[in-house]
Amino acid sequence: MKQLIAPSILSADFLNLGRDIEMVNKSEADWIHVDVMDGMFVPNISFGFPIIKQVNAIAEKPLDVHLMINDPDRYLQDFKSVGADLLTVHYEACNHLHRTLSRIRELGMKSGVSLNPHTPVSVLEDILDQTDLVLLMSVNPGFGGQKFIPQIIKKVEKLKKMIKEAGTSTLIEIDGGVNYETGKQLIDAGADVLVAGSFVFGADDPQATIKGLKDL
Ligand code: DX5
Ligand code: ZN
């Protein structure tokens, strides 16, 4: 399968968000990555429901919503209502991950679980059958434009093996510090989806950069 590309609008120009979404619509991107931060789980606050609703109104690609918030169970229905197609919660932010992931599916979304760089992939061994997507963080979550942590490559390889053994169709998505060089290493290791924020929106030609990532 050709890798999927999910530009992260955290690095978009918020004064021209409509224009940037139109660019993604026209590009070869597969999903639109939407980062939600609560200032508690991560030391930053991004944006919430009113913005996501507006993005969804013009987006022609599925919304891949990454929740960096504590106790996400409080808001699963709300994210469905504003247009999330895939909803990813953090392993470190959930007390009852099995219940959370089942609920996301019941609400009609694809279920995702994300791991911080320090969390081993082995914690997911008994939950893969409930998980459509695993989002491995390759930076500490909270900010765009950080440096890629190379140890992630080994995690991708391990997780790929675990998924194969479990016989599920869980996708592996990587988030943080993705560019042509790290992207190529990640695909070779078994990644299915690449998130890219600053590398896309900071480029002179974002649309060509998305194509470049798609063609890696
Ligand atoms: C970081 C977010 C990322 C961020 C990635 O916490 O989850 O999605 O936008 O930004 P880059 O691609 O610039 O590292
Ligand atoms: Zn993200």
Ranges of each domain in the chain: 4-214
- Give the residue among 78, 76, 79, 2 at the shortest CA–CA distance from 34: 79
* CA separation, residue 28 to residues 23, 188, 201 (Å): 10, 20, 14
Ligand 1 pocket check for 174: Cβ under 6 Å:
no
Q: Name residue 136's beta-bridge partners.
A: 115, 174
Q: Mean of the per-residue pLDDT values for the chain?
A: 98
Span 149-192, pLDDT tens digits:
999 999 999 999 999 999 999 999 999 999 999 999 999 999 99
- Nearest ligand atom owner, CA of 143: 1
Q: With cut-offs at 50, 70 and 90, classify the pLDDT of residue 1.
A: confident
Contact in structure between 7 and 33 (CB atoms under 8 Å):
yes
Q: Tell me, yes or no, if 71 is annotated catalytic.
A: no
* DSSP codes joined into one string, 181-208: HHHHHHHHHT--EEEESHHHHTSSSHHH
Closest among 6, 1, 2, 3 to 114, alpha carbons compared: 6
State how far the Cα of 20 lies from the Cα of 207, in Å rounded to an integer.
Answer: 10
Q: Give, as one character, the DSSP assignment of residue 137.
A: E
**Mutate-to-test residue for ligand 1 from 92, 195, 210, highest number of ligand atoms within 8 A of CB:** 195
What's the pLDDT tens digit per position in 71-106? 999 999 999 999 999 999 999 999 999 999 999 999
176 lines ligand 1 (CB under 6 A): yes
Q: Count H helices and E strands in the chain, helices first.
A: 8, 8
From 20, 30, 35, 38, the catalytic residue: 35
**pLDDT > 90: what percent of the chain?**
100
Ligand 1 centroid to residue 177 C-alpha, Å: 7
| pTM of the complete model | 0.98
Looking up tokens 């918020």, which residue turns up? 14
CA distance 6 to 34: 9
Q: Is the Cβ atom of 177 under 6 angstroms away from ligand 1?
A: yes
Residue 178 in contact with ligand 1 by CB distance below 6 A: yes
Query: Which atom of ligand 1 is found nearest the CA of 138?
Result: 14
Give dist(CA 176, CA 151) in Å, integer: 13
For the chain, give the percent of residues with pLDDT over 70: 100
What's 4-214's CATH class? alpha beta
Considering 20, 30, 38, 175, which one is annotated as catalytic?
Answer: 175
Decide if 175 is catalytic.
yes
Name 25's Cβ contacts closer than 8 Å, sequence gap at least 6. 58, 59, 60, 61
Ligand 1 pocket, residue 33 CB under 6 Å: yes
Q: For residue 147, report the distance from its CA to the centre of ligand 2, in Å.
A: 14
Both structure tokens of 190: 């078994």
